């Protein structure tokens, strides 16, 4: 049994991770400042004597005795991370420094939740871990993109200089229950709009592509990476679903999952929005024996059921 710290543990991905770690018999400390995390995400965990919830901001130091650290703390949707871009940078940089300092002091293994956004608007397709990216350093999204890139730099420097045992995961678009309904991500946007009978907002002409990984598959990848051993295990690893969908195709899948007739509304593409996003997951297959199992239609059905309850709709998934 490990004593595990999950920063951002009350968030969408973090809460699923806490749940899985407890189910595997670990002690879990969830740390969150509740900027985007929600206490209700942890309702099923708070009465477990192996679970502890701390209200704390990772930009402030903290000393805990733990064996492993999953550093997920950071708003991950453009709506949230652009709301306070300076805070976003501080969370990525100062928060990562604080968690690395903790890992160094107590000799814990630490996993940094990085992002496919480090690839920017990629000129290479699909994206492999050795691609350095095409990122605008001064754009609206750079507080997140560059913040995560600096976090990766810090992880590698602490590993080289202080021999901290690190893992870096580059997370591609993930969806599922407990997403915020107003977070601006395309899956939650489309589902909520469809359930409410609104037009689905498509930015650009709808031909840009993304890849969508269901949250249970992602959590499985995170845990496998944290516990894997290999010579190059400290280098970044892509975790995502290589199935690629245009925004127009995603809208059709949401229509099927909600049982709704949908109407589309096209809007201008936001600044620096990527045109293509698809992970190459050969490294994850080789090092972790991991690949996603949940197809988009199945994951969307579960996600629609969750959102139907939250938005007060009578809609049910097919």
Catalytic positions are 144
> Terminus-to-terminus CA distance in the chain, angstroms?
40
Cβ proximity of 246 and 207 under 8 Å:
yes
Cβ proximity of 194 and 77 under 8 Å:
no
* Distance, CA of 146 to CA of 232 (rounded, Å): 24
* Distance, CA of 41 to CA of 206 (rounded, Å): 32
Three-state DSSP class for residue 276: coil
45-48-71-177 Cα dihedral, nearest 10 degrees = -20
User: How far lies 267's CA from each of 205, 206, 270, in Å?
Assistant: 8, 10, 9
* Distance, CA of 248 to CA of 258 (rounded, Å): 16
- Which residues touch 69 (CB under 8 Å, ≥6 apart)? 4, 5, 7, 99, 102, 103, 108, 109, 110, 111
Q: Which helix (H) or strand (E) holds 297?
A: helix 296-310
């Amino acid at each position: 049994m490990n004593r595990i710290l999950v920063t951002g543990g009350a968030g969408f991905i973090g809460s699923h991770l806490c749940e899985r770690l407890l189910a595997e018999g670990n002690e879990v400390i969830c740390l969150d400042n509740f900027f985007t995390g929600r206490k209700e995400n942890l309702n099923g965990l708070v009465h477990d004597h192996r679970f502890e919830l701390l209200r704390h901001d990772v930009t402030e130091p903290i000393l805990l005795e733990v064996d492993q650290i999953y550093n997920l703390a950071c708003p991950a949707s453009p709506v949230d991370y652009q709301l306070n871009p300076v805070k976003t940078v501080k969370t990525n940089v100062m928060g990562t420094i604080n968690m690395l300092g903790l890992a160094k002091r107590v000799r814990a293994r630490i996993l940094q939740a990085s992002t496919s956004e480090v690839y920017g608007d990629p000129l290479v397709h699909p994206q492999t871990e050795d691609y350095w990216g095409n990122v605008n350093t001064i754009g609206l999204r750079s507080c997140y993109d560059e913040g995560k890139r600096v976090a990766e730099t810090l992880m590698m420097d602490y590993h080289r200089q202080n021999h901290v045992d690190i893992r870096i995961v580059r997370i591609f678009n993930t969806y599922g229950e407990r997403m915020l309904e107003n977070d601006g991500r395309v899956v939650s946007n489309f589902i909520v709009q469809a359930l409410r009978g609104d037009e689905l907002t498509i930015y650009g002409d709808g031909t840009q592509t993304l890849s969508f990984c269901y949250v249970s598959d992602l959590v499985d990848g995170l845990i496998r990476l944290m516990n894997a051993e290999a010579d190059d295990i400290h280098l970044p690893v892509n975790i995502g679903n290589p199935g690629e969908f245009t925004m127009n195709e995603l809208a059709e899948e949401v229509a099927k999952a909600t049982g709704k007739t949908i109407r589309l509304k096209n809007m201008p593409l936001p600044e620096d929005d990527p045109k293509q996003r698809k992970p190459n997951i050969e490294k994850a297959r080789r090092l972790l024996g991991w690949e996603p199992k949940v197809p988009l239609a199945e994951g969307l059905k579960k996600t629609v059921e969750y959102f139907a309850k939250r938005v007060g709709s009578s809609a049910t998934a097919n």
